[in-house]
Chain A
Amino acid sequence: MSAVLRLYRRIRRNRAVNVSGGILAAIAVLAVLLPLVSQNNYLETDFGRILEAPGLADMHWFGTDDLGRDLFVRTMMGIRVTLLVAIVASIVSLVIGVLYGAFAGYVGGRVDAVMMRFVDALYAMPFIFFVILLMVVFERNFLLIFVAIGAINWLDMARIVRGQTLSLREREFVEAARLNGVSTARIILRHIAPNLMGVVIVYVTLTIPQAILVESFLSFLGLGIQEPQTSLGALVNAGVNQMESAPWMLLIPGGLLALILMCFNFLGDGLRDLFDARQNR
């Protein structure tokens, strides 16, 4: 009980986590709820009112796109997809990368060499080729985007975690645990992993924007989200084409994308402080 309370107090004290976490939560909730209020939906086209500027008429709050679809509902949908892709892909890379890297680094020797050469081999594979291969084998599927992005990101994570583990392994507190016969799994979970937190959290906040960008790139190539479904990345791409005639098509989803990325960065900074025992007095 007291531990939970203390963690809660620490979160309350940390401004970066409060503000950026609050904004992200608000964006996520609004992205789910607001489309329910709107009279429009994301795929209905109205050729009578294409490229309409933002206004209050007919609830086209963010205007319409070049097919006359309501941009507000589409943007909200894009946020949902983008957040989902980013978070799921990051969790995938976090779990696989940390466990794989910490195990390789801690056990070391030949096991480490084999495991890291496998990572190198995967690095050498062309990403797009890999994605196309997945599409061919599993047909086009929303889930595949998560798998594809996660499968790329965990490689970096594993390398970073392995490097950190190599130096942590030599630390005296790990040696003290090993001398007493603490099991490998317990050493990794209790001694190595908590000391990796700082690096890992910062790196995750870097992979989230990366995942968002990769997703929009895949969508652009036609390998990701398919019309009429959309994501913030896809909306920005569409907006670029209409930049001169309808700047809101670029500015609104682009601005929201920037806001989300910035919030994730601040959140990462704050979380790193929060998880570092040395920082809380």
Chain B
Amino acid sequence: MSLLNICQLGIRYGDVVAVDDLSFAIDSGESVGLVGESGSGKTQTALAILGLLPATAEISGSIKFAGEEFVGADDRAFDKLRATRVSIVFQDPTQALNPYLRIGEQLRRILIAHNIAAGAEADARVIETLESVGLPDPKRQSGAYPHQLSGGMRQRAMIASALITSPDLLIADEPTTALDVTVQAQILELLDTIRKDTALLLITHDLGVVAGHCDRMLVLENGGLVESGATRQVFGTPKCAHTVSLLEAAPRLKQSIAPQPVSGKALLRVDGASVSYREPGYGRLHAVKSVDLALRKGETVAIVGESGSGKSSLVRALLGLVAAESGAVSFLGETLPRDARSRRQQIRRELQLIFQDPAGSLNPQMRVSDIVVEPLSVHEPSLDRRACRERVIRILEQVDLGAEFLQRYPHELSGGQAQRVAIARALIVEPKVLICDEAVAALDGTVREQILKLLQDIQGRTGLSILFISHDLGVVSSISHRVLVMYLGRLVECADGQTVFGSPKHPYTRALIDAVPVPDPEAGIAHTSLSGEVPSILSPPTGCAFHPRCAYAESRCTTELPAPTAIGATTVCCHRATEIDLQA
């Protein structure tokens, strides 16, 4: 008999169908991946299993856990279910953990609330569980508040709180989406190792995650199951068109299709830029330390790094949103003032920006037509209304949106449509440089592919130069002519796309490449060559900032800052770059 048996599950909110006729089963000890894009009903299904849906949801069908029916069950039945049998790990541990309770206390309360253990026994079990999820020094860490832990450690604590009741089924709802890539790999490995006989329902939009970590997988589309089967089988011979498109959209390192390098004079240059902020109580926080950058016409340069690498600060300094401490930004040979306010309008026009969150970058109280026309009315105030309207319609067509979008408000757009509007707003004044700050990070896989393709098309047509900021190497690999890898405010490696992905020279680059989950079950689990997390930028390690996490570090690395050296087409900052072999 299956542990969990879901039969013809339906969830609706009034007329809106969230999940429709969904049936699947999970055996004990099995790991099952539930895959789909946002809005496909993945999370709704998880909440239904746990009895956490809002009262407005109408549930039909059957959810049987170990033979017991839970559709229509009362709160007490669910309490018992949640107490010992099913646990959940949410996406964002920052929100899932109570900021006012110490980690140990939160775990202890779970044991006490469910009458599992009390007193010294509970304390011992808390420490034991924290140790099992790889929290270093669990005795001390159990006294820490959530904000005192790093993102990865918080997610470990969250997993500990789910596993402390020894559940039969662990539901992990996008457990790594809010984490850095190198930490994501660690958490996924952890989930594999500590489960033992706990079954796992892994909810994710990332096929790479499923490929390495699930026996079976289910593909959802618009609330319905479109494909299910063994992971290998689904990846090898997908039956459904939706699965095929998901597989195609999955980020993978496409070394072979990385575009050819572009030659020519640099359009935009950054020389030795440093950015620092005053942090009360800490002195100065050095976010960017003497970074050089050059962008040519028609070229896409990617800046890659985890949180705290300084990539966003670099962009803000480049745009003049924060004043660089030192260094120079020049555009077409003209050195730009550090503060955006003292830059000429023409310069502002030539450098346009797209943000990460498509919804947040559009004014919710303005219509699409007003949003898109605004830069035009600043830079070409002489245009009359008709001409403006024509330009807006033309640019919307270029981003594949019709005139019917003119009167819409941002909340009436999907994420992909909103990002297209943001691109239209940036491109309507025909800039030479487009800066994309994590511009596709918030989008679903297939939509992300569409946006990337759109940017490439526009680049091909107009010779636009793109500076692409991302934490995800998989995303940048298909579009970048050159790639810069940043770590704790410094460039560590810089080369053309093919070289970076084909033969990385810096151990950190290698680790980033390894950390991208491969959407191929045959490839096996990529081993994380990286332990620990990005150190706080407030107190960066001495010498090479990467040495505490580096498998190749030697004594020189702890004291001496490596200078940039050229090896073939690559510029790399590593003492041992010539000695070590990082080929996979």
Contacts and interface: CB of A to CB of B under 8 A. Distances in A.
Interface of A: 171-173, 175-182, 190-191, 194-195, 197, 276-278, 281
22 contacts: A172-B357, A173-B362, A175-B321, A178-B321, A178-B340, A179-B319, A179-B321, A179-B340, A179-B348, A179-B353, A180-B349, A180-B375, A181-B378, A182-B374, A190-B374, A191-B363, A194-B363, A195-B363, A195-B365, A277-B365, A277-B366, A278-B409
Contact of B360 (A171, A180, A281): A171
B361 interface: yes
Interface in B356-390: 357, 360-366, 371, 374-375, 378-379
A194 B361 CA distance: 15
A175 B357 CA distance: 13
B411 interface: yes
A40 to B, nearest CB: 50
Given A173-B363, A180-B352, 20 more contacts: A172-B360, A175-B355, A176-B353, A177-B374, A178-B340, A179-B340, A179-B352, A179-B353, A181-B378, A181-B379, A182-B378, A190-B363, A190-B366, A191-B363, A191-B366, A277-B364, A277-B409, A277-B411, A278-B409, A278-B411
A277 B367 CA distance: 9
B368 to A, nearest CB: 12
B531 interface: no
A186 to B, nearest CB: 9
B269 interface: no
Contacts of A191: 363, 366
Contacts of B357: 172
B353 to A, nearest CB: 6
Given A180-B378, A277-B411, A194 B365 contact: yes
B345 interface: yes
Contacts of B360: 171-173
Contacts of A182: 374, 378
B425 interface: yes
Interface in B166-202: none
Contact of B361 (A172, A178, A180, A278): A172
Scoring B349, B351, B353, B429 by chain A CB atoms within 10 A of each residue's CB, the highest score goes to: B353
Contacts of A195: 363-365
Contacts, number: 64
Contacts of B362: 173
B319 A180 contact: no
Interface string B519-543: 0000000000000000000000000
Interface of B: 319, 321, 340, 345, 348-349, 351-353, 355, 357, 360-366, 371, 374-375, 378-379, 409, 411-412, 422, 425, 429
A-side binding surface: helix, strand, loop or mixed? helix
3 smallest CB-CB distances across A and B, nearest first, come from A172-B361, A194-B365, A173-B363
Nearest to A176: B361
B580 to A, nearest CB: 41
Contacts of A277: 364-366, 409, 411
Contacts of A171: 360
A59 B197 CA distance: 89
Nearest to B348: A181
A148 B165 CA distance: 63
A181 B348 CA distance: 7
A194 B364 CA distance: 9
A161 to B, nearest CB: 16
Nearest to B425: A176
B115 to A, nearest CB: 43
Contacts of B378: 180-182
Given A172-B357, A176-B425, A278 B374 contact: no
B361 A173 contact: yes
Contacts of B411: 277-278
A178 B321 CA distance: 9
Nearest to A196: B365
Nearest to A192: B363
A184 B331 CA distance: 25
Contacts of B429: 180
Contacts of A177: 374
Nearest to A173: B363
B564 to A, nearest CB: 31
A180 B374 contact: yes
Given A171-B360, A172-B355, A180 B379 contact: yes
Given A172-B357, A179-B319, A179-B340, A278 B345 contact: no
A69 B412 CA distance: 60
Contacts of B321: 175, 178-179
A180 B409 CA distance: 21
Nearest to B412: A281
Contacts of B348: 179-181
Nearest to B351: A179
Contacts of B409: 277-278
A191 B366 CA distance: 8
A55 B375 CA distance: 68
Residue from A171, A175, A177, A180 whose CB has the most chain B CB atoms within 10 Å? A180
Contacts of B361: 172-173, 175-176
Nearest to B358: A172
A175 B322 CA distance: 12
A109 to B, nearest CB: 13
A146 B48 CA distance: 57
A69 B375 CA distance: 65
Q: Which of B319, B321, B357, B375 has the most CB of A within 10 A?
A: B375
A194 B425 CA distance: 20
B323 to A, nearest CB: 14
Contacts of B363: 173, 190-191, 194-195
A194 B366 CA distance: 9
Contacts of A276: 365
Most chain B Cβ neighbours within 10 Å, of A172, A190, A195, A281: A172
A171 B366 CA distance: 14
A171 B357 CA distance: 10
Contacts of B412: 281
B267 to A, nearest CB: 18
A179 B347 CA distance: 10
Nearest to B363: A173
Nearest to B362: A173
Contacts of B351: 179
Nearest to B377: A182
A164 to B, nearest CB: 13
